Amino acid sequence: MIAFLIGNFVLNGIAGILLYLLVRKKKKIFADRYGMVVSMCGSGVLSLHLAMLFVFLIPDYLIIQVLFALGIGVFIGKKFGSLVRYQSLLSGIFHGIIGGIMGLMLGIVILNPSLCGLPSASLNMLHENMLIFTLFGTLLVIMTGSLLYYSLRV
């Protein structure tokens, strides 16, 4: 399971880098409003999924998880937000941080459902839930990237 999570983390990191490079290459052709939408969508979804995967990889160290979620949110938001202007930069950083914190919360609840009053899961069900949410998050990152790529072509 750890190898699957590490592979998925690397796959989503590469997808985020490719999406950033693609958008950065074509940043001259779009306006400020579109740049803000790209920074909000890209940074929010990517930081959400990467923070959730990091919680699955290192489940016991809460301080490291929080620092990574904030760090990855700021880093991704700064990169995507720097595509147009300062308003887009602030929007990207804000949505990156919010996505990272949401991914952190989602990962913690998946690992311990009793935090929200849900019934406790067995170890087998825990791995199944981690697999389902990891695949769904990867699908979400790929769909968001492909929709942003399609919107650049139109």
pLDDT category, 86, cuts 50, 70, 90? low
Q: How far apart are CA 101 and CA 153, in angstroms?
A: 32
Give tens-digit pLDDT for 50-84: 999 999 999 888 899 999 999 998 998 888 877 76
Residue owning tokens 């990207």: 92
pLDDT over 90 percentage in the chain: 45
Indicate the pTM of the whole model: 0.89
Domain ranges of the chain: 2-153
Please say if the pLDDT value at position 95 is more than 90. Answer: no
Rounded CA-CA distance 74/68 in Å is 10
CA distance 118 to 112: 9
Neighbours of 29 (CB within 10 A): 8
| pLDDT value at 116 more than 90 | no
Q: Residue 152: is it exposed, middle or buried by C-beta count within 10 angstroms (0-12/13-18/19+)?
A: middle
Structure tokens at 15: 């997808």
Mean pLDDT of the residues in the chain: 86
Instruction: With a cut of 80, say whether residue 89 has pLDDT above it.
Output: no
DSSP conformation class of 120:
P
Integer Cα distance of 86 and 94 in angstroms: 12
Other C-beta atoms closer than 10 Å to the C-beta of 124 total 8
In this predicted structure, the answer to whether residue 92 has a pLDDT above a threshold of 90 is no
